[in-house]
Structure 1
Amino acid sequence: MQLIARTRTGDPAVIRLNPLDNVLIARQALPEGLSLEAEAVTVRQPIPSGHKVASQRVALGQPLRRYGQIIGFASQPIEAGDHVHVHNVEMGDFARDYAFGVDTHTTAGTEAVFQGIVRADGRVATRNYVGILTSVNCSATVARAVADHFRRDIHPEALAAFPHIDGVVALTHGAGCAVDPNGEALGLLRRTLGGYAVHPNFAAVLIIGLGCETNQIESLLETQGLKASDQLRAFTIQGIGGTSKTIASGIEQVKALLPQANQVQREPVSARHLIVGLQCGGSDGYSGITANPALGNAVDRLVAAGGTAILSETPEIYGAEHLLTRRAVSREVGEKLIARIHWWEDYCQRMNAELNNNPSAGNKAGGLTTILEKSLGAVAKAGSSNLVDVYLYAEAVRAKGLVFMDTPGYDPVSATGQVAGGANLIAFTTGRGSAYGCAPAPSIKLATNNRVFEYQEEDMDVNCGGIADGSTTIEERGAYIFEQMLRIASGERSKSEQHGYGQNEFVPWQIGAVT
């Protein structure tokens, strides 16, 4: 089963995605009274661009279909030509056939290379940073002060002699204390910090703590199987003797690390060393038609070249998980995915929340109506490759191919988990114009429509809007995106890097009670 049917030609004002659909997608704003001759439908109310118009009458309680899949149910009778949106669509339960593994297939291998940085232990990096991590929020100010000393926009002389270093970045957070020392929340934070501490895009890492926090650095290192070394240094404010002394010590330690960190050079390496985290934020009605399937096409090319793609955001595949289980390489892998869906259902119940509350206000303004509709478009980022494994948040990703990591739908939290798991590149689609970066991994932004690309071009790396108007194809954009991945991985700076995004967007998932 294909995740997304190809766009079908018809009336130029609308897009029909599948013969089974009873909604059409507006390519442009549709005025009341417009005749859609190819569909034999007259528009009954103004329809904003990217929104849905009914192609036939839908009775109360009957399903609405897009991509040939159910996206909700009519909460009132809907006539052909009506605007189909939150005012007349509601969620409802329906059976989904998980059909584990029925759509798996073999993939022909291809060759692709990029200019990577090979570390002494064989790991491959796409960037070369010195990182500063914190065990607790209490040491965040000190960590930022150390990193700020090396900012090229403030102190250009600090790294002038080290052109092969991309920067010194402080990744701080708001947790680390007042939590159960043996609980899930602290374990998750430690797993995240541990993943960043060994990320190949860091030539060296300092971990700075306060000293009395629950997240003791010694325990952090021990639980993550890490040992302090010249490239992994750890100390506390209380141990050094105060704020100013700790900042001075941190600056001197970074200075001592710079000469060796600078001794790198890029060389041709196989694309099998690429691990790409897949994100979509500020989605709109075009996301599942243009940028997401184009990114999915690029993912299939990456997987064919031996690389890895990480699909995430569990609440944003909810209702479309059956399309992934059908491609699971084993029943065990498929059931691991369904177990995460059940965990989220239980989690939301415990938190007195609704898993169906997604999409956001911006998503709805862009034409998305229910989480089912959003999820069906979101899974298009995964292309058609087999699902080879499922990981918990921030777990180290070892498999090659398409994998799933359990994360929230909130982009900074989700991407933080992916990078902790080893992602050395992020590909991020947006229809509303999300601004985002993710140090130490570069982030590529893909616009779903021409308007957002033209209006916010300073933030967008790729325009996929031409897929909707027929000026380009999913295959052409997929090939272009894959080439862009290789270029950015080789050192070309993405738009978000040029703007300095990446440090503030480090947001580990905080899941437990704070006491």
Structure 2
Amino acid sequence: MQNREISPVIRLDSADNVVVARVEISAGTQVASEQLTTLQNVPLGHKIAARMIEKGQPVLKYNTVIGYASEDLPAGTWMHSHNIEFGDTARDYRYGLDYVPTQLLPANERATFQGIVRADGRVATRNYLGVFVVGNCGATVARKIANHFDEERLAAYPNIDGVVPFVHEIGCGMEMTGEPMNLLRRTIGGHVKHANTAGGLLIALGCERNNIHGFIEQEGLLLNDMLKALVIQDVGGVKSAVDQGIKLIEAMLPQANAVQRQPVSAEHLIIGMQCGGSDGFSGLSANPALGAAVDILVRHGGTAILSETSEIFGVEHTLTARAVTPQVGRKLIERIDWWLEYNKGRDTQINGRVSPGNNAGGLANVLEKSLGGAKKGGNAPLMDVYEYAYPVTTRGLVFMDTPGYDPVSATGQIAGGANLIAFTTGRGSCFGSLPAPTFKLASNTPMFTRMSDDMDINCGQIIDGDKTIRQMGQEIFDRLLAHASGEPTKSELNGLGEDEFCPWQIGVLA
């Protein structure tokens, strides 16, 4: 692998009419592997016309249409949003026609990790106590209670990872029934009931529209020694609520600490997948490498949750074709149709516009971003589709309908049961999550080097030619097991996650 000459461009498919710049390329550079000369400066991660593309012709990347030429584009032209037009493409959904069942490994051959087995058989990767608010009015009280339990006060309880405030900005000023309230309740409830939550304290001001008693009843929660409720107006105000809340959490510490890790099958891993701050390399390295790890995980009986519905738009047919049943495939298209109606006439990603950071990183439009984003799902069959924050009970690759906004999307995945979040990034997203930790996969070596304190794995080794996607996938799978066993991620070491609990605010304000 050493002393080799590497082409400055990457060809993804023999049918493609563009190639991707592996490094920054100056105008006038001869690219021998493609027999072309660049006509403009090309930033790394951006595309170059590999042959003449006439106006109106489709632009092909991974032999998939990502747009249409807005003018005649000679070979060597820098290709980006200034000369690639966004447009509808014909898609054959082939509902379930390409389904191939996963060949699961025998139980005695499956990988293991050191997990925490709860009384009901669920497996945790972390061990937290949570302080949850039903509405924003309880946020300060929740923070004061949780912040009391600093490192010094928890020193006697080494098996507890922390006491975390789960606060948000809604819960009042919204309709008291309907999907917005149901969504909020099941999101909070999913975190309360999460395997990584050893116990919790529910905080309410007392007059929220998200009434604490209605919330407890609707979510089927049972108050006991490890789940308590506190209403600020009933106990005499903020100071009294903080004092009483601290005592309630203190009483939970001994039982929460009484756990130990033990070997468990990788089938108990539920991975939520995210991509944020994407660039032109994300779909070439980090995303397909994570997809390769997902294929391994699924063979070991585990579960992976693909999400960010607006960021698979344009390539959803690659998932519906391998759905376990036509009904599962149609559930996905129903969610796509909901988003198209929801975003009709708005300047949003599903209508073509990606964020400025994504655009600067080499992504021309949502079709190109979706093409790379969907690769996180590997080649496993699609086993089910869930609406936001619903409990994930089907094993294998599943899809959860969420926005593309990472904190909101990951919050829904964790509410659904994800016990790890795998986050790919090309620009360098700084994200963390609780009670399930996030580990981050960098798409390129320069960013990994620049932000090594935030990145866990360098998938840029694929771009550099030092590792294959398959090798990188195995490395990611091994790291999944290590982090599930308690090895801290970079986001945990940086103290991230407390402020990233973001329930989806879907038409809530009144």
Residue type at the aligned position of 2:356: A
Instruction: Report what 1:151 is aligned to.
Output: 150
* Matched-pair contact (CA < 8 Å) for 1:43–1:81: yes
Check if 1:103 corresponds to 2:111.
no
Partner Cα separation in structure 2 for residue 40 and residue 353 of structure 1 = 38
Aligned residue type for 1:88 = N
Q: Deviations over 1:199-250 (max 9, x none)?
A: 0101101110110010001111111122222212112110111000000111
Aligned counterpart, 2:306: 311
Count of aligned positions: 503
Alignment of 1:162 with 2:157, yes or no, is yes
- Does the residue aligned with 1:98 lie in a helix, a strand or coil? coil
Shift of residue 12, structure 1, vs aligned partner: 0.7
**CA drift at 1:331:** 0.2
CA distance in 2, matches of 1:233, 1:57: 68
Which of 223, 239, 251 is the aligned partner of 2:234?
239
Give the C-alpha shift of residue 262 in structure 1: 0.3
The 5 Å alignment of 1:108-187 reads: 108-110=103-105, 111-152=110-151, 156=152, 158-187=153-182
Q: Which moved more, 1:223-232 or 1:47-56?
A: 223-232
- 2:315 equivalent to 1:326: no
Deviation at 1:358, TM superposition (A): 4.0
The residue number in structure 1 matching 2:261 is 266
How much has 1:351 moved relative to structure 2?
6.1
Partner residue in 2 for 1:31: 26
CA deviation profile, 1:480-503 (whole Å, cap 9, x unmatched): 100100000000000000111011
Q: Which moved more, 1:403-412 or 1:219-228?
A: 219-228
Aligned to 1:6: none
1:253 aligns with 2:252: no
Q: 1: distance between equivalents of 2:45 and 2:161?
A: 39
**1:37-69 deviations in Å (ceiling 9; x for gaps):** 221111000001110000011111111010110
Q: Residue by residue, what CA displacement relative to the aligned partner does 1:293-337 show, whole Å, maximum 9, x if unpaired?
A: 000000011100000000000000000101111110100000000
Gap regions ≥5 residues in structure 2: none
CA distance in 2, matches of 1:387, 1:10: 40
Q: Is the 8 A contact 2:99 2:381 kept in 1?
A: yes
Deviation at 1:191, TM superposition (A): 0.9
Q: Does 1:405 align with 2:404?
A: no
What residue is the counterpart of 1:480 in the other structure?
A: 475
In structure 1, list runs of 5 or more residues that go unmatched: 1-8
Instruction: Report the Cα offset of residue 466 of structure 1.
Output: 1.0
Q: Distance in 2 between matches of 1:319 and 1:209?
A: 43
Select which of 71, 84, 87 maps to 2:82.
87
Report the CA distance between 1:160 and its aligned residue. 1.1
- CA distances 1:390-433 after superposition (whole Å, capped 9, x unpaired): 00000000000000000000000000000000000000001011
Shift in alpha-carbon separation, 1:243–1:507, aligned structure 2, 3 A: same
Distance 2:220 2:119 in 1: 19
Give runs of ≥4 in structure 1 deviating > 6 Å: none
On the 8 A contact 2:311/2:350 being kept in 1, the answer is no
| Alpha carbons 1:74, 1:90 under 8 Å: kept | yes
Tell me if structure 1 keeps the 8 A contact 2:349–2:355. Answer: no
The structural deviation recorded for 1:10 is 10
Q: TM-score, normalised by structure 2?
A: 0.97
- Whole-angstrom CA distance in 2 between matches of 1:435 and 1:478: 22
1:414 maps onto 2:409 in alignment: yes
**Aligned ranges for residues 38-77 of structure 1 at < 5 Å?**
38-77=33-72
Per the normalisation by structure 1, the TM-score is 0.96
Instruction: Pick one of 488, 492, 511 that aligns with 2:506.
Output: 511
Residue 347 of structure 1 pairs with residue 342 of structure 2: yes
CA contact (8 A) 2:86 2:352 kept: no
Match of 1:373 in 2: 368
1:315, 1:384 → 2: CA distance?
A: 20
SS in 1 for 2:203: strand
- Give, as a single letter, the amino acid of the residue that structure 2 aligns with 1:131: G
Question: Is residue 40–residue 78 contact of structure 2 (8 Å, CA) maintained in 1?
Answer: yes
8 A contact 2:122–2:195 mirrored in 1: yes
Residues in 2 aligned to 1:210 and 1:48: alpha-carbon distance in whole angstroms: 53
Counterpart check, 1:427 vs 2:426:
no
Q: Secondary structure at the match of 1:38?
A: coil
Rounded Cα–Cα distance in structure 2 between residues aligned with 1:321 and 1:137: 36
**Shift in alpha-carbon separation, 1:352–1:81, aligned structure 2, 3 A:** closer
**For residue 3 of structure 1, what is the aligned residue in structure 2?**
none
Question: Residue by residue, what CA displacement relative to the aligned partner does 1:340-399 show, whole Å, maximum 9, x if unpaired?
Answer: 000000111276756224421111111111100000000100000000000000000000
- 8 Å contact 2:292–2:473 — kept in the other structure? yes
The 8 Å contact of residues 11 and 36 in structure 1, kept in 2 or not, is answered as: no
The alpha carbon displacement at 1:291 in A equals 0.5
In 2, Cα distance between the equivalents of 1:78 and 1:370? 18
1:454 match = 449
Q: Distance in 2 between matches of 1:465 and 1:297?
A: 15
Name the counterpart of 1:441: 436
Give the letter for the 2:139 counterpart: A
Question: Contact 2:310–2:349 at 8 Å: present in 1 too?
Answer: no
Separation in structure 1 between the aligned mates of residue 345 and residue 137 of structure 2, nearest angstrom: 30
Identity of aligned residues (%): 55
| C-alpha distance in structure 2 between counterparts of 1:285 and 1:352, whole Å | 22
d(CA) in 1 for partners of 2:125, 2:204: 28
Q: Is the 8 A contact 1:276 1:426 kept in 2?
A: yes
Shift of 1:513: 3.8
Structure 1: how far apart are the matches of 2:498 and 2:320?
35
